[in-house]
Structure 1
Amino acid sequence: MINKLTTGRILSIDAFRGITILVMIFVNSVAGVQGIPSWMQHAHADEDRMTFVDVVFPAFLFIVGMSIPFAVNSRLAKGDSFWQLQKHIGWRSLGLLVLGVFMVNAEEVNAAATGMNATLWALLFYVCVILVWNVYTFRQQWISWCFKGTGIAGLLVLGWLYHGGDGSERLSPHWWGILGLIGWAYLYACIIYQLFKGVAAAYMFMIAVCIGYYILCQQPFMHQGEWSWLASQGVNAAHTSIVLSGMVLTLFYFDEDLGLRGSKLFARVTGFLVILLIAAVNLRPRYQISKIHATPSWCLYSAVICVAVFSLLYFLIDVKHLSKWTSFFRPAGSNPLLTYILPDIVYYLMILLRISLPPVLGAGLPGIIWCACFAVAMLFIVKGLNKLRIRLQL
């Protein structure tokens, strides 16, 4: 064991994850609505600002960081050897990268060159995802592997068939997609977590190292010759700083060896938040806030917001025991990957079945209300799919 953590499900983390997913579905849907206010849209790459929409992705990264200590220590408690743990981390990282690349390329399928309708290709991809990453409960293990094997074979065939753009482009990571970016940050954070043996202060130092590495990668010499491949990891380092921030917060709240309670816990968390805030303020003049460029100020401000939001949830749920309302978010919080891909599945099914929304739902307040209702509906559907034992786990 690396850290002695609180056992059992942490409702405040599940609630944070579920709320983030609900907001993610809403903001992804509302992005296609015309005439919405600027505070409901992503800030442009070169604007020195951020909206609540720009905090959704870093909230996912932050939650990944909060979950890593629990996941790693759980596997160690079950008897995993060092190499078994690395295999699990590697498989999970690879899964996120593969999903990210497929989802990005699904937007540019050339039907004629691929020999398949773009919508059908995307839907078959999601069927394969469910086959590969579903948690099966068959007593005969070989049945589970048959389903997983079919899904893997399907992904290989779809990848081989794929042509995008003008028909000459093959399946490639021209960018990794949201899940792929999470995959890189998860991989680096897991390595750092194991290297520094659960010491919170060391992870705080590594947050600074990740930010420093990003800054180094902005220097002109890093984009020349043999250094260019190192510069390409600057954005991943910035994202990793957010994951590490979530990791630090988990240790403050749930590491029993630290034993932080009451005023000590409040002081430690507040001090951490203030340090992040001071760093964000001081870096902003040189590195403007930008989600697209993953600037240090955006990373640190996002981490500050996540620390504050989770702390509020922890106070309400774990301290005041006001937890009944979290039952609505629990299905999504316990099945995040399925909840993440479900809106895309519904979107492609609507295209395949030629179902379109009335124009009134594509603009202004009616469109915003529709997107909010759609997000809520997705959570109810996931709840039903959970009962059908469709639960994805990387």
Structure 2
Amino acid sequence: MGLTAAEEYKVNNVFWYKVISLPATLMINNLKTGRILSIDAFRGITILVMIFVNSVAGVSGIPSWMQHAHGNEDRMTFVDVVFPAFLFIVGMSVPFAINSRLAKGDTFWQLQRHIAWRTLGLWVLGIFMVNAEKVNAAATGMSGAAWSLLFYISAILVWNVYKFKNAWLSWCFKGVGMIGLIILALIFRGGEDGTERLTPDWWGILGLIGWAYLYACIIYQVFKGVAGAIMLMIAVCIGYYILCKQPFMGEWSWLTSQAGHAAHTAIVLSGMLLTLFYFDEDLGLKGSKLVSRVTGYFALLLIAGMLLRPAYKLSKIQATPSWCLYSSAICVAIFSLLYFLIDVKQISKWTAFFRPAGSNPLLTYILPDIVFYGMLLAGISLPAVLGEGLPGIAWCAFFAVIMLFLVKGLNKLGIRLQL
């Protein structure tokens, strides 16, 4: 008689089974099943705003509240909440993703391989996207637009979800994409003198998400999804950032270089904790008990941010604790409103517009760049009036909406990216 999935997991992973003490069901938390429409809507809205703010950044004559705050300022705008909203949503999704794979029978090491592959994918995409902005055409042998488009085509080939009956055919496409990425990395030359190679001067938005995702996944597994432990680790991450900023720590050690990643991880863990409050059925938070818990959580984030702000100003650029905590509090409020409208009041028809982007976020994220580099390669430019003031703002809003419609069409064509 064959072993059950739980028994096989125990046999193959005795040590880790004892350390992590996963229940026989292989689930870390008892989460609601199925897609959570309010999370998808939150993700889709965040992506729409992201496309808008990235586009409007190139428009002149716009008000300061539509721009990122400078690194030396003690303030934040709604633009500075877009990136932490991505991190927060990653945290909300992690428990569902990990528990789903465990429920399907993944062993401990299969799960770690999946996490490592996703992390590597985010790092690679982040590094390529950052370097796409500094291609030296003469030294590389092709224009920056051509190199960038080839990169995105290769990335789509690697991370597209194929539905071929023969798995080998899917791997053929993925293999072509991987070879393409390797070749593009080898031929890349950047900088004015064309001597720079493909390097992570910084990780890019996706790369930073990759680091925070990795650390959050480790923390979630080690502490078995216990809400109190996750709350404690948020404080530990904030404390680690503060420690790294002390003069005695120095400036060039590997430990201090992780300060920003620790701050970003705190935001991911904040989203993870909110998921447990709303969707972990073992916690049993419903009705007034749920409202009081979430309200208290929101207040705690705000108060902690206020207490830390005199010493650490609001700054997205520096990833300060006050920015992390305020951003997390804003995300708690936004998601709670969406949850009330969509899941409680069942007012959900309007979310249909955001669903394609919410279910295919990676493609939606890179699509504006693909369009931009395509226009650049084709020599197409926008009228100057669309780069200034109110007409420019209106165009950016229209462009963001068009991107969501375009993603919907690509979804129907079977182009869906998944790390």
- Give the alignment's TM-score, normalised by structure 1: 0.99
- Quick check: 1:131 aligned with 2:157? yes
Map Cα deviations across residues 159-180 of structure 1 (whole Å, 9 max, x no partner): 0000110211100001000000
How far 1:259 moved relative to its partner? 1.3
The aligned counterpart of 2:227 is: 200
How far 1:222 moved relative to its partner? 1.8
How far apart in 2 are the matches of 1:44 and 1:329? 31
Please tell me the residue identity of whatever aligns with 1:262.
G
How far apart in 1 are the matches of 2:284 and 2:170? 42
Q: Please list every run of at least 4 consecutive aligned residues from structure 1 whose deviation after the TM superposition is greater than 3 angstroms.
A: none
Identical aligned pairs, as a percentage? 78
Please tell me the residue identity of whatever aligns with 2:142.
M
The aligned counterpart of 1:276 is: 301
How far apart in 2 are the matches of 1:223 and 1:126? 39
How far apart in 1 are the matches of 2:57 and 2:398? 15
How far 1:204 moved relative to its partner? 0.5
The aligned counterpart of 2:188 is: 162
How far apart in 2 are the matches of 1:189 and 1:224? 25
Other structure's SS at 1:235 match? helix
Other structure's SS at 1:281 match? helix
The aligned counterpart of 1:182 is: 209
Please tell me the residue identity of whatever aligns with 1:335.
N
The aligned counterpart of 1:172 is: 199
Counterpart among 17, 23, 32 of residue 58 in structure 2: 32
How far 1:220 moved relative to its partner? 2.0
The aligned counterpart of 1:370 is: 395
Distance 1:224 1:124, change over 3 A: closer
Other structure's SS at 2:297 match? helix
How many residue pairs match? The answer is 392
How far apart in 2 are the matches of 1:168 and 1:355? 29
Map Cα deviations across residues 258-317 of structure 1 (whole Å, 9 max, x no partner): 111000000110111111111000000000000000000000000000000000000000
How far apart in 1 are the matches of 2:222 and 2:251? 31
Q: Which structure 2 residues correspond to residues 1-394 of structure 1 after superposition, within 5 A? A: 1-165=27-191, 166-223=193-250, 228-394=253-419
The aligned counterpart of 2:5 is: none
Please tell me the residue identity of whatever aligns with 1:94.
L
Structure 1 vs Structure 2 CA RMSD: 0.6
How far 1:117 moved relative to its partner? 1.3
How far apart in 2 are the matches of 1:276 and 1:316? 23
Other structure's SS at 1:285 match? coil
Map Cα deviations across residues 157-208 of structure 1 (whole Å, 9 max, x no partner): 0000001102111000010000000000000000000000010111110000
Other structure's SS at 2:261 match? helix
How far apart in 1 are the matches of 2:299 and 2:232? 15
How far apart in 2 are the matches of 1:246 and 1:118? 37
How far apart in 1 are the matches of 2:254 and 2:116? 21
How far 1:115 moved relative to its partner? 1.1
How far apart in 2 are the matches of 1:123 and 1:70? 33
Other structure's SS at 2:318 match? coil
Other structure's SS at 2:161 match? coil
How far 1:219 moved relative to its partner? 1.3
Map Cα deviations across residues 84-129 of structure 1 (whole Å, 9 max, x no partner): 0000000000000000000000000011111111110000000001
- Give the alignment's TM-score, normalised by structure 2: 0.93
How far apart in 2 are the matches of 1:34 and 1:293? 25
How far apart in 2 are the matches of 1:11 and 1:126? 29
Other structure's SS at 2:70 match? coil
How far apart in 1 are the matches of 2:173 and 2:344? 43
Please tell me the residue identity of whatever aligns with 1:148.
K
Please tell me the residue identity of whatever aligns with 1:283.
L
How far apart in 1 are the matches of 2:378 and 2:197? 27
